[in-house]
């Protein structure tokens, strides 16, 4: 019997060994493999403007304890040279280093239009070389001002302010611009550089160029505008060619929340430069200038981000973007010189379609009015394939919810109409989808159709900034899986060039407080490195002269006058880059942000020399949407909001501390000393002013304790007391519920677990009673709601003035779920997941969880299951990294790894601790729930 067991264990072991060797079908290769080559976080980026870009790669190996001992990078000016292992631009030669991230290109100068190819080879810990990686590439855009021969152009009717008469709720008509040109010879290569002030769709000879949506995205257009580079060789040929563009008002000239119409300019403009090389060695260049023709009298009679598009098919001009079209009635475009704004490469992943949804149900609550339910709150627009009547407008109205009678609920959209219209030019079938807009919706109300729509008549097209998904999460509790799904959907919906608060009402701004709270959850969900690089540029572009960070970035108003200088919102300019550093080890970005972050702390300090942040707290949103906002008779009316000075001073102390750490890392030791001391002093004042000797914090709020604990502001001896008051407050005053808002909810949860109250954290997470995350889900949430009481059974929808159903701030709980259910925790002292901690903390009655996170250094995985009194934990630690594993365990001497008993490096009350090198490990321990 014993022998049989022994034999089967060996068989299982051999099978699992074989399986692990078979990763990606490379079982015959014991070597270290190198892949996922990226340049400035992007795969094969095109049109860059960084002259010393950074390269990175990911290692894979089937062996344990594997690491890189050296690398060699080759960069060549042609794929052929690279194939011959010739790095004519740069050969780093063999560098003895384990560095796989941010290797700075040190080859020949990178010039405008250059295309380069690169590959890398690495040596394992024993000095064996890998194969060369697959080749990767990058290319440069037009990096000198003098490269640009094009001029901005616009339609003269739009320029002559005819738009001023537009009703403030309307949007501008789209501009169509075209240019016919002749190519004299066979084209060997053609590259188009395109930008707009506004939004553009660019066409060549009837074909749309690129797959990006809402280009060139949202930046502070007064300072920088992105342009896109396209290889259009296949789209241009000898003979007559036509370049055409459609321009929308977008964020440049469209209505934006409090700023109103024309936030940056009054009419959209286009910039085009197409450079063509011929087989015979000659060149041609086509640039936007006054030789282009334009009109605003096309089929898109209005097009705005908030309101949607109205498309009158009767005004369509088929073939406008092809040769042979008669544009005699169009006007000559007006031109404008390139001005002081910089044309830049867009470093974040562009907005792209990700998926399509088919309706789950269509109802007809009123005759001829159809309500389509996609079963999922989503962001994008709809494609219609339906039947209509000539001249009869079809309305496509989008909303997140329905009323009891089944009709669409649109009150929470405020001033955003989210209504597309299509006016057919003939009876019968038509196909339609808008552009230059986006809608937040689960339901669509269709009216004006001539035939009832079928499920296939309408498709929901989901798009967002295409940062790659990085994390996968599953556990045995379906409600928690749904919660994580809701977080992912909310992230899809709000990652739209800037990190938005919401996607549906007339707001959709990169509110800094929201992304500050959500940043780590966002990082677990998607690879945010490139996106945050762009966002942090926006925070710097829109910092006020006195150092105030904006409340949102980009900031379309006057940041020196309003919407800047708010505790927790402005602090995003310090906290978000720190998160980027922790997760992606990006020191260059930290160095870029450093002086802005320092100026922010100096602003607060200057206004508050006694270190209590009382002055210069502009809008003071505090712990937005905390318990005091909940309207219910059986809920305390006060006690949720953190006293304003406690709240603000806690953020001040935290930011000063981070700026001190930033200074250390970027090598500014004097400033490090200064800000570390400042942080100590603020902490002292915080304690003197707000903390009583027994650990009570002024206001006795959950949020106050959460901040003080999370920012490490309390003396060690008072931590437990403060934590106890937090617990009591949750249990007694709020009957087992959180009263926290968007700044303190995830912090309270993290601190409960960190300070020995994991059980209570789990109870709050898995609670279904109001208010809780699962209450939202039980009441139909498929994305995260803005408010705990967005919808309450007894009272219905909350105040429509502020009730988004797609708001990621309360989704910051994702961070707790990743850190404690899957157990993944970055280690600040070895950033970029060089070392990390796997520490699952089971609870809430769940019996298994499984997750993987594609870190900047490769795939990290952690899966566990509780079975027959044992805790089984499988982990994957990528090559070149190490991990601390904390296994829940009731008997530290009975822990095995791959069936061998192993001795922990230390034992704590409820877990045993191991240090491991890279590899795949299978642990098991005795476990009592
Ligand atoms: C947004 C929030 C934001 C806030 C500022 C709201 O309208 O939707 O999420 O942070 O304003 O308090």
pLDDT at position 893, please? 82
275 cis-preceded (ω within 30 degrees of 0): no
Q: Quote the ligand 1 centre to 866 CA distance (angstroms).
A: 41
| Annotated active-site residue in 275, 507, 751, 852 | 507
The two three-digit tokens of residue 669, written as one number: 């030791």
**Pairing between strand 835-838 and 882-888?**
parallel
Counting runs of H as helices and runs of E as strands, what totals does the chain give? 17, 48
DSSP 228: E
pLDDT at position 339, please? 82
> Where does ligand 1 bind, in terms of residues with CB under 6 Å?
501-502, 507, 511, 513-514, 621, 624, 807, 809
Q: How many degrees, rounded to 5, is the angle at CA 256 between CA 376 and CA 310?
A: 65
Query: Which residue's alpha carbon is at the smallest distance from atom 6 of ligand 1?
Result: 501
Q: Quote the ligand 1 centre to 501 CA distance (angstroms).
A: 7
Work out the burial of residue 35: count CB atoms within 10 Å of its CB; fewer than 13 is exposed, 13-18 middle, 19 or more buried. Answer: middle
Stretches where the chain sits below pLDDT 50 are 1-28, 164-165
Count Cβ atoms below 10 Å from residue 384 Cβ, excluding itself. Answer: 24
The SS3 assignment for 234 reads helix
Q: Quote the ligand 1 centre to 141 CA distance (angstroms).
A: 37
Residue in 412, 493, 511 to alter for ligand 1 test, most ligand atoms within 8 A of Cβ? 511
Q: Quote the ligand 1 centre to 566 CA distance (angstroms).
A: 12
Query: Which residue's alpha carbon is at the smallest distance from atom 2 of ligand 1?
Result: 501
From residue 847, how far is each of 636, 837, 863, 894, 925 by CA, in Å?
35, 21, 11, 20, 14
Angle between helices 745-754 and 716-728 (to 10 degrees): 120
Residue 599 and residue 591: Cα distance in Å, rounded?
13
Query: Which residue's alpha carbon is at the smallest distance from atom 4 of ligand 1?
Result: 511
Query: Which residue's alpha carbon is at the smallest distance from atom 9 of ligand 1?
Result: 501
Sequence-distant (6+) residues with CB within 8 A of 595 are none
Q: Quote the ligand 1 centre to 502 CA distance (angstroms).
A: 9
The two three-digit tokens of residue 822, written as one number: 């899957």
What beta strand segments (E) does 98-198 contain?
A: 103-104, 115-123, 136-139, 152-154, 175-183, 187-197
598 contacts 592 by C-beta, under 8 angstroms: no
Phi, psi of 639 (to 5 degrees): 105, -5
Residue in 624, 741, 803 to alter for ligand 1 test, most ligand atoms within 8 A of Cβ? 624
| Nearest atom of ligand 1 to the alpha carbon of 569 | 10
Q: What is the DSSP string of 294-350?
A: EES-SSEEEEETTTEEEEEGGG--TTTTSTT---TTSEEPEEE---SSEEEE--SPP
Q: Quote the ligand 1 centre to 616 CA distance (angstroms).
A: 19
Measure the CA dihedral 443/449/453/456, to 10°: -80
Q: Quote the ligand 1 centre to 345 CA distance (angstroms).
A: 30
| Nearest atom of ligand 1 to the alpha carbon of 625 | 12
**Mean pLDDT estimate for the chain:** 94
Q: What is the DSSP string of 835-889?
A: EEEE-----TT--EEEEEEEETTEEEEEEEEEETTEEEEEEEE-TT-EEEEEEE-
pLDDT at position 13, please? 41
pLDDT at position 503, please? 98
Residue 81 and residue 45: Cα distance in Å, rounded?
20
Sequence-distant (6+) residues with CB within 8 A of 167 are none
- The 3-state secondary structure of 91-122, one letter per residue: ECCCECCCCCCCEECCCCCCCCCCEEEEEEEE
Sequence-distant (6+) residues with CB within 8 A of 338 are 145, 148, 150, 151, 152, 271
754 contacts 821 by C-beta, under 8 angstroms: no
Residue in 501, 644, 812 to alter for ligand 1 test, most ligand atoms within 8 A of Cβ? 501
In residues, how long is the chain?
929
Sequence-distant (6+) residues with CB within 8 A of 199 are 214, 215, 216, 247, 248, 249, 250, 251, 252, 268, 435, 436
Q: Which helix (H) or strand (E) holds 379?
A: strand 369-388
Query: Which residue's alpha carbon is at the smallest distance from atom 12 of ligand 1?
Result: 621
| Annotated active-site residue in 60, 786, 815, 897 | 786
Residue in 256, 503, 504, 514 to alter for ligand 1 test, most ligand atoms within 8 A of Cβ? 514
Residue 579 and residue 576: Cα distance in Å, rounded?
5
Query: Which residue's alpha carbon is at the smallest distance from atom 8 of ligand 1?
Result: 501
Residue 646 and residue 622: Cα distance in Å, rounded?
10
Residue 13 and residue 920: Cα distance in Å, rounded?
13
The two three-digit tokens of residue 920, written as one number: 């795949």
Please write the tens of the pLDDT for every residue from 195-207: 999 999 999 999 9
| Nearest atom of ligand 1 to the alpha carbon of 804 | 8
pLDDT at position 341, please? 80
723 contacts 756 by C-beta, under 8 angstroms: yes
The two three-digit tokens of residue 201, written as one number: 């769709």
Query: Which residue's alpha carbon is at the smallest distance from atom 3 of ligand 1?
Result: 511
Residue in 416, 621, 741, 742 to alter for ligand 1 test, most ligand atoms within 8 A of Cβ? 621
From the list 123, 136, 145, the residue with the least C-alpha distance to 49 is: 145
249 is catalytic: no
From the list 674, 711, 675, 661, the residue with the least C-alpha distance to 691 is: 711
596 contacts 604 by C-beta, under 8 angstroms: no
Query: Which residue's alpha carbon is at the smallest distance from atom 5 of ligand 1?
Result: 621
Query: Which residue's alpha carbon is at the smallest distance from atom 11 of ligand 1?
Result: 511
Q: Quote the ligand 1 centre to 244 CA distance (angstroms).
A: 39
Residue 901 and residue 306: Cα distance in Å, rounded?
62
Render the burial of 283-316: b for 16+ CB within 10 Å, e for the rest: ebebbbbeebbbbbebbbbbbbbbbbbbbbbeee
Q: Compute the chain's Rg from CA coordinates.
A: 29
Angle between helices 745-754 and 512-525 (to 10 degrees): 50
786 is catalytic: yes
139 contacts 47 by C-beta, under 8 angstroms: yes
Q: Look up the pTM and report it.
A: 0.95
| Nearest atom of ligand 1 to the alpha carbon of 621 | 12
Please write the tens of the pLDDT for every residue from 768-827: 999 999 999 999 999 999 999 999 998 899 999 999 999 999 999 999 999 999 999 999
564 contacts 618 by C-beta, under 8 angstroms: yes
């Amino acid at each position: 019997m014993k022998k049989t067991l022994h034999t089967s264990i060996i068989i299982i072991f051999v099978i699992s060994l074989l399986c692990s060797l078979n990763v990606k079908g490379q079982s015959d290769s014991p070597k270290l493999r190198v892949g996922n080559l990226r340049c400035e976080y992007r795969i094969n980026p095109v049109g860059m403007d960084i002259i010393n870009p950074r390269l990175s790669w990911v290692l894979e190996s089937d062996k344990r304890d594997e690491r890189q001992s050296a690398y060699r990078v080759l960069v060549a000016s042609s794929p052929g040279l690279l194939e011959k292992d010739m790095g004519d631009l740069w050969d780093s030669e063999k560098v003895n280093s384990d560095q796989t991230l941010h290797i700075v290109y040190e080859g020949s100068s990178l010039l405008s239009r250059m295309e380069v190819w690169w590959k890398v080879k690495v040596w394992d810990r024993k000095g064996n070389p890998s194969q060369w990686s697959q080749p990767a590439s990058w290319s440069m855009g037009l990096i000198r001002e003098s490269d640009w021969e094009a001029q901005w152009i616009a339609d003269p009717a739009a320029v002559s302010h005819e738009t001023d008469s537009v009703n403030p709720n309307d949007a501008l008509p789209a501009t169509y611009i075209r240019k016919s040109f002749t190519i004299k010879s066979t084209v060997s290569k053609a590259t188009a550089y395109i930008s707009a002030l506004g939004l553009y769709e660019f066409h060549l000879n009837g074909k749309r160029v690129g797959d990006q949506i809402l280009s060139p995205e949202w930046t502070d257009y007064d300072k920088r505008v992105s342009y896109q580079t396209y290889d259009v060789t296949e789209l241009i040929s000898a003979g007559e060619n036509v370049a055409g563009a459609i321009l929308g008002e977008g964020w440049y000239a469209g209505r934006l929340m409090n700023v109103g119409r024309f936030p940056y300019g009054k009419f959209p403009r286009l910039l085009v430069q197409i450079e063509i090389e011929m087989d015979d060695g000659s060149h041609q260049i086509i640039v936007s200038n006054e030789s282009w023709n334009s009109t605003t009298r096309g089929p898109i009679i209005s097009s705005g981000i908030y309101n949607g598009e109205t498309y009158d098919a009767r005004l369509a001009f088929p073939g406008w973007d092809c040769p042979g079209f008669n544009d005699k009635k169009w006007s000559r475009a007006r031109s404008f010189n390139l001005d002081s704004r910089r044309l830049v490469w867009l470093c974040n992943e562009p907005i792209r379609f990700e998926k399509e949804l088919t309706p789950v149900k269509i109802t007809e609550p009123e005759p001829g009015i159809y309500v389509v339910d996609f079963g999922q709150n989503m962001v994008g627009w709809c494609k219609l394939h339906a039947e209509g009547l000539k001249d009869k407008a079809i309305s496509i109205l989008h909303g997140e919810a329905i009323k009891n009678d089944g009709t669409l609920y649109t009150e929470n959209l405020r001033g955003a109409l989210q209504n597309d219209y299509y006016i057919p030019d003939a009876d019968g079938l038509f196909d339609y989808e808008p552009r230059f807009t986006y809608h937040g919706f689960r339901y669509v109300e269709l009216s004006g159709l001539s035939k009832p729509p079928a499920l296939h008549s309408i498709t929901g097209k989901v798009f967002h900034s295409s940062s790659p998904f990085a994390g996968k999460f599953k556990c045995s509790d379906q409600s928690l899986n749904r919660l994580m799904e809701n977080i992912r959907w909310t992230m899809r919906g709000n990652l739209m060039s800037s990190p938005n608060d919401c996607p549906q009402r007339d707001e959709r701004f990169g509110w800094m407080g929201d992304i500050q709270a959500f940043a780590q959850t966002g990082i677990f969900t998607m690879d945010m490195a490139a996106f945050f690089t762009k966002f942090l540029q926006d925070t710097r572009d829109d910092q006020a002269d006195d150092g105030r960070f904006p409340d949102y970035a980009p900031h379309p108003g006057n940041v020196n006058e309003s919407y800047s200088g708010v505790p927790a919102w402005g602090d995003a300019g310090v906290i978000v880059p720190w998160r980027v550093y922790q997760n992606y080890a990006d020191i260059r970005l930290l160095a870029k942000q450093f002086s802005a972050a320092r100026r922010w702390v100096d602003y607060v300090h200057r206004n508050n020399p006694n270190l209590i942040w009382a002055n210069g707290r502009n809008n003071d949103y505090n712990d937005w949407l905390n318990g005091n906002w909940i309207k219910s008779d059986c809920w305390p009316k006060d006690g949720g909001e953190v006293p304003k000075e406690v709240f603000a001073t806690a953020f001040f102390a935290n930011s000063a501390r981070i700026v001190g750490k930033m200074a250390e890392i970027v090598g500014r030791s004097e400033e490090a000393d200064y800000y570390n001391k400042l942080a100590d002093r603020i902490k002292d004042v915080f304690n003197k002013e707000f903390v009583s000797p027994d650990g009570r914090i002024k206001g006795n709020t959950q949020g106050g304790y959460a901040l003080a604990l999370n920012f490490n502001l309390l003396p060690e001896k008072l931590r437990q007391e403060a934590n106890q008051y937090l617990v009591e407050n949750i249990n007694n005053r709020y009957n087992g519920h959180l009263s926290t808002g968007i700044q303190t909810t995830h912090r309270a949860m993290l601190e409960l677990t960190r300070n020995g109250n994991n059980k209570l954290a789990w109870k709050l997470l898995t609670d279904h009673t109001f208010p809780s995350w699962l209450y939202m889900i039980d009441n139909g949430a498929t994305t995260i709601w803005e408010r705990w009481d967005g919808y309450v059974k007894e009272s219905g929808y909350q105040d429509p003035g502020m009730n988004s159903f797609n708001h990621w701030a309360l989704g910051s709980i994702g961070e707790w779920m990743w850190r404690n259910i899957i157990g993944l925790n970055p280690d600040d002292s070895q950033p970029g997941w060089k070392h990390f901690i796997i520490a699952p903390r089971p609870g809430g009655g769940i019996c298994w969880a499984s997750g993987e996170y594609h870190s900047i250094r490769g795939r990290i995985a952690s899966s566990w299951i509780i079975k027959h009194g044992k805790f089984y934990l499988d982990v994957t630690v990528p090559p070149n990294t190490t991990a601390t594993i904390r296994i829940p365990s009731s008997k530290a001497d009975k822990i095995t790894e791959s069936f061998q008993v192993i001795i922990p490096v230390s034992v704590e009350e409820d877990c045993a601790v191991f240090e491991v090198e890279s590899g795949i490990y299978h642990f098991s321990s005795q476990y009592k729930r």
